[in-house]
C-alpha cells in the first residue's frame, strides 16, 4: 500500500535541513518530498496550487519563510508575499485535498511588553514588519484550513545555515572580546529538536488515524535567557578565552525593532503529543558537538 506523502518546503533552511536529516527514521510510515526554492518558489501562488494538487500530500510542513528580519523593513511586499500570501495559497490548496498543514511561525508576533511567557492566544501585536507578515500568515492558514496547526518557535539555531550560535563561535575564535545584549530575553530552539517534534506529531496523527485539529502551539527548548546568557554558555562549551561583555540594545540599533521579552508558554505541544521538553543547555551542547565535527 502507498504510504502517505509528506511535502516539506524550505529544504535549504535550518528547519527544512534538519527535517531532511531525520526523515529516514520515519520512512516506515511516510514518503517524503522536500522542496527548495528551485522546485517551488513561494512567490508564485499558481505553482503552489499546482504542486499540491499534483503530488497530493497527506501532510504539508511549511518551513520556508522570508526570515531576514531587518531587510523585511524595506522589502515589505516580498516578506508579505512569502509569509502571508503564500501560506494562504498553501492552506487553500491543502484544504481542497484534505491535507493536514503544519505552518511554522514566530515569537515575533508579540510586542514583548509582557514579563511572563506568552500564551498561544495572548493578544498579538507585532512590532516589526517580519512579525506582522508572519502574524497575517498565521491568520491566513487558520482561516483557510481546518486541519492546520501553527507552531510558533523562537531563536532557532542549527549546525546548518546562518544563526546566532554559529556567528558567536566564529567571533569567539577570532576576537579577544565581544559584546552581547542582555536586555532581550527569550528561549532558544535547536532546529533538530523542533524537526523531531514535527515528525512525531504527524506520526501521532497517522497512527491514531486522526486529522490534525486546528490549534496554535508554541515550541522552544526549556529555559528563558538573554542573548548574553546564550553567548556565555556557547563560550563555556568552546572553553573559549574570548571575553563576553554584556551590553544594551541601545548600543546596537537595527532597522527592525526587537522585543525585550518573547518567551512563550510551550507546555501544550508537549502534552498533546507526548513529547519531551529538552533543556536549552543540553540542546546547545548537542549542536556544538556536531558543529565541532564539521
Ligand X SMILES: NC(=O)c1ccc[n+]([C@@H]2O[C@H](COP(=O)([O-])OP(=O)(O)OC[C@H]3O[C@@H](n4cnc5c(N)ncnc54)[C@H](OP(=O)(O)O)[C@@H]3O)[C@@H](O)[C@H]2O)c1
Q: Which of 41, 45, 49, 222 binds ligand X (CB under 6 A)?
A: 41
Classified as helix, coil or strand, 241 is coil
Burial class from Cβ neighbours inside 10 Å (0-12, 13-18, 19+) for residue 180 reads buried
Closer residue to ligand X, CB minimum distance, 235 or 262: 262
> Considering the rule CB under 6 A, would residue 65 count as an interface residue with ligand X?
yes
Closer residue to ligand X, CB minimum distance, 194 or 212: 194
Q: Which of 135, 71, 61, 79 is nearest to 105 (CA)?
A: 135
> Considering the rule CB under 6 A, would residue 190 count as an interface residue with ligand X?
no
**Distance set, CA 158 to CA 215, 283, 290 (Å):** 26, 10, 9
Active-site residues: which are they? 130
> Considering the rule CB under 6 A, would residue 82 count as an interface residue with ligand X?
yes
d(CA 48, CA 35): 11
d(CA 112, CA 162): 24
Q: Which of 212, 194, 213 is nearest to 203 (CA)?
A: 212
Q: How far is the CB of 16 from ligand X (least distance, A)?
A: 6
Classified as helix, coil or strand, 31 is strand
Q: Which of 6, 52, 64, 263 binds ligand X (CB under 6 A)?
A: 64
User: In the stretch 7-26, what mask flags binding to ligand X with x, by CB under 6 A?
Assistant: ---x-xxxxx----------
User: In the stretch 138-167, what mask flags binding to ligand X with x, by CB under 6 A?
Assistant: ---------------xxxx----x------
Closer residue to ligand X, CB minimum distance, 3 or 167: 167
Q: Do 41 and 67 touch, CB atoms closer than 8 A?
A: no
> Considering the rule CB under 6 A, would residue 48 count as an interface residue with ligand X?
no
Q: Which of 6, 8, 19, 104 binds ligand X (CB under 6 A)?
A: 104
> Considering the rule CB under 6 A, would residue 50 count as an interface residue with ligand X?
no
> Considering the rule CB under 6 A, would residue 118 count as an interface residue with ligand X?
no
3-state secondary structure 43-59: CCHHHHHHHHHHHCCCE
Q: How far is the CB of 210 from ligand X (least distance, A)?
A: 24
Q: Do 10 and 63 touch, CB atoms closer than 8 A?
A: yes
What is the binding site for ligand X (CB under 6 A)?
Answer: 10, 12-16, 36-37, 41-43, 63-67, 82, 104, 106-107, 134, 153-156, 161
Amino acid at each position: 500500500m502507498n504510504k502517505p506523502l509528506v511535502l516539506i518546503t524550505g529544504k535549504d533552511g535550518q528547519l527544512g535541513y534538519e527535517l531532511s536529516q531525520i526523515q529516514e527514521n520515519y520512512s516506515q510510515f511516510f514518503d517524503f518530498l522536500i522542496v527548495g526554492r528551485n522546485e517551488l518558489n513561494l512567490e508564485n501562488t499558481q505553482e503552489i496550487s499546482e504542486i499540491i494538487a499534483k503530488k497530493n500530500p497527506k501532510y504539508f510542513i511549511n518551513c520556508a519563510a522570508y526570515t531576514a528580519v531587518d531587510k523585511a523593513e524595506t522589502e515589505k511586499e516580498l516578506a508579505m508575499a512569502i509569509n502571508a500570501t503564500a501560506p494562504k495559497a498553501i492552506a487553500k490548496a491543502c484544504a481542497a485535498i484534505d491535507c493536514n498543514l503544519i505552518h511554522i511561525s514566530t515569537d515575533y508576533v508579540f510586542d514583548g511588553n509582557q514579563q511572563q511567557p506568552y500564551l498561544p492566544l495572548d493578544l498579538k501585536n507585532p512590532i516589526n514588519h517580519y512579525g506582522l507578515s508572519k502574524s497575517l500568515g498565521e491568520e491566513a492558514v487558520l482561516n483557510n484550513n481546518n486541519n492546520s496547526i501553527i507552531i510558533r518557535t523562537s531563536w532557532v539555531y542549527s549546525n546548518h545555515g546562518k544563526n546566532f550560535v554559529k556567528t558567536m563561535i566564529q567571533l569567539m575564535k577570532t576576537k579577544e572580546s565581544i559584546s552581547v545584549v542582555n536586555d532581550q530575553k527569550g528561549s532558544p530552539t535547536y532546529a533538530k529538536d523542533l524537526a523531531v517534534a514535527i515528525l512525531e506529531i504527524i506520526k501521532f496523527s497517522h497512527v491514531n488515524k486522526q486529522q490534525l485539529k486546528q490549534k496554535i502551539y508554541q515550541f522552544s527548548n526549556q529555559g528563558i535567557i538573554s542573548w548574553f546568557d546564550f553567548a556565555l554558555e556557547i563560550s563555556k562549551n568552546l572553553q573559549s578565552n574570548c571575553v563576553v561583555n554584556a551590553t544594551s540594545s541601545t548600543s546596537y540599533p537595527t532597522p527592525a525593532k526587537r522585543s525585550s521579552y518573547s518567551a512563550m508558554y510551550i507546555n501544550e505541544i508537549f502534552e498533546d503529543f507526548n513529547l519531551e521538553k529538552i533543556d536549552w543547555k543540553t540542546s546547545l551542547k548537542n549542536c556544538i558537538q556536531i558543529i565541532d565535527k564539521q
